[in-house]
Amino acid sequence: MKWKVCGMRDLTNIEAVAACEPDYMGFIWVEKSPRYVGVDFVIPALPAQTKAVGVFVNESTDTIISLSKKARFQVVQLHGEEGQDVIDALHAEGLTVIKAVSVASAEDVKGLNLKPDYYLFDTKKGSQVGGTGERFDWSILKAYAIDIPYFLAGGLDEASIEEAKQLPGICALDFNSKLELSPGLKDLTKVKEIMQNI
């Protein structure tokens, strides 16, 4: 099972979390997010096996592509209403695409017809995009039958790992607010617990 730590911002904290060798680390380019890294942020060097993920909401394709080169990420996570045209444009630049879907009911995972590399299922809570610290009803995903692997997010912590691993089609667990001391600052003790139990 792969794992991702999202919402990184503090350079010292990034280095410490990277030393735990998650498969992915997420960096948020969404101005209204308390974990926003800023337009001039450049991702520091990460371990070879850790992929940097740029997280966006309805950002222009040109901006995402430009930032991918400037800030050094190879994976893009889309949390808005982006369509297949955006996914195709990012694929054409050699970027891997994760398409996030906010989930409140089974209807939210039915009829998915985009072709990202991965989906990401997170908890729907008003207009909030990720980082809710709350989980949705995972039984909804037992009927997931699309041949696209997915990341699971929303209130994940060390105690929920074993249950989450049993879900069909899952490929990675995405941790954020449950590991935090404050927005963007991860608790290294909790991160190490994930590393040991994943």
pLDDT band for 122, please (50, 70, 90 cuts). very high
Write the CATH number of the domain with boundaries 2-190: 3.20.20.70
Instruction: Please count the CA atoms within 13 angstroms of the CA of 115 that sit on its side-chain side.
Output: 5
What was the pLDDT predicted at 142? 84
SS3 letters across 140-168: HHHHCCCCCCEEECCCCCHHHHHHHHCCC
pLDDT at 132 over 80: no
Q: Which H or E run includes 66?
A: helix 61-67
Share above pLDDT 90 across residues of the chain, in percent, rounded to a whole number: 88
3-state SS, one letter per residue, for 164-184: HHCCCCEEEEEECHHHEEECC
Question: What value does the mean pLDDT of the chain take?
Answer: 94
pLDDT at 110: 87
pTM metric for this prediction:
0.95
Q: Which sequence spans correspond to the domains of the chain?
A: 2-190
Give the per-residue pLDDT at 84: 98
Which of 105-119, 120-134, 147-161, 165-179 is the least confident region?
120-134
Predicted confidence (pLDDT) at residue 37 exceeds the cutoff of 90: yes
- For 108, the token pair is 């939210």
Cα separations in angstroms, 43 against 39, 40, 155, 170, 181: 12, 10, 25, 27, 21
* pLDDT at residue number 128: 63
Helix (H, G, I), strand (E, B) or coil at 34: coil
pLDDT digits 0-9 by tens, 13-32: 999 999 999 999 999 999 99
Token readout for 75 is 């994976």
